[in-house]
Amino acid sequence: MEKGPLGRRRGRGARERILSASQQLFRDQGINRTGMDQLCAVAQVSKRTAYQHFTSKDELVAEYLRRFDPDVMPGVFDRTDLTPRERLLAAFEIPASTPLCPYIAAAVELHDPQHPASQYARDYKTAIAARLTETAREAGATNPEQLGEQLALLIDGASARTRVLNSESFPTAAAIAAVLIDNAIPASSPRQPSDDRGTTGSAPVPVGAQ
């Protein structure tokens, strides 16, 4: 994008432009409703080049999902300025503009558990749950695996519900999370144990997706 308008930007970064356009279009329109023609036009890439980098649209979709990992994972969990408990709650402070977890959307749209993209979706969900479990362990939960899985379920529920209804469901999920966390941590937490509500008062967390 450094080359100006009407950019005769030569091949370098074609792959990145394709993936960037995929993120935008798949998010805004869905996977099935985005054709390769439109995608190539947005990416300013010829179809020839597109099919040189990705042998098929399925492969592009798979790579599109795989690429989300590095973007999303470090969002909340690396914030050392927060206690583990605050980090767990911060995972629910998702901006309302965030559409729907792309992994859920892809799993529904592709409708094929054998699709390579579906495998990446499972990997991502598992990784998120593992991160939550790890943080739950830091927070002193008696059963970190259980708490991590529970919080992951809450995130997905809020994401799906936000999509179907228009109302924001993450505050509801955060309230549930607060109850679960307080019930799961025996007596002494690293900080005050009674926060009652999900909002920790810190700045919105710049998490890329849920």
Partner DNA sequence: ACCGTTCGGTACAGATCGGTCTACATAGCT
Partner DNA sequence: AGCTATGTAGACCGATCTGTACCGAACGGT
Q: Does 197 bind a copy of itself (CB under 8 A)?
A: no
What's the closest the beta carbon of residue 100 comes to DNA, in angstroms?
19
What's the closest the beta carbon of residue 120 comes to a copy of itself, in angstroms?
11
Dihedral angle at the C-alpha atoms of 51, 111, 22, 101, nearest 10 degrees? -160
113 vs 127: CA distance, rounded Å? 18
Q: Does 165 bind a copy of itself (CB under 8 A)?
A: yes
Three-state SS at 56: coil
Binding site for DNA (CB under 7 A): 3, 8-12, 14, 33-38, 40, 44-49, 51-52, 55-58
Residue reference for tokens 């830091």 = 138
Stretch that binds a copy of itself, among 40-48, 58-66, 145-153, 186-194 (CB under 8 A): 145-153
Instruction: Please report the DSSP string for 97-143 in residue order.
Output: T----HHHHHHHHH--TTSHHHHHHHHHHHHHHHHHHHHHHHTT-SS
Q: Does 32 bind a copy of itself (CB under 8 A)?
A: yes
Q: Does 166 bind a copy of itself (CB under 8 A)?
A: yes
Closest CB to DNA among residues 45, 147: 45
Kindly state the tokens that stand for 107: 């799993």
Helix (H) or strand (E) holding 19: helix 14-29
Q: Does 149 bind a copy of itself (CB under 8 A)?
A: yes
- Across 153-179, b (16+ Cβ under 10 Å) vs e yields ebbbebbbebeeeeeebbbbbbbbbbe
Candidates 22, 159, 189, 210; binder of a copy of itself (CB under 8 A) is 159
Q: Does 121 bind a copy of itself (CB under 8 A)?
A: yes
Closest CB to a copy of itself among residues 82, 173: 173
Provide CB contacts within 8 A for 175, sequence distance 6+.
197, 198
Closest CB to a copy of itself among residues 82, 159: 159
Contacts (CB under 8 A) with a copy of itself, residues 174-193: 175-176, 179-180, 183
36 binds, among DNA, a copy of itself, none (CB under 5 to 8 A by kind): DNA
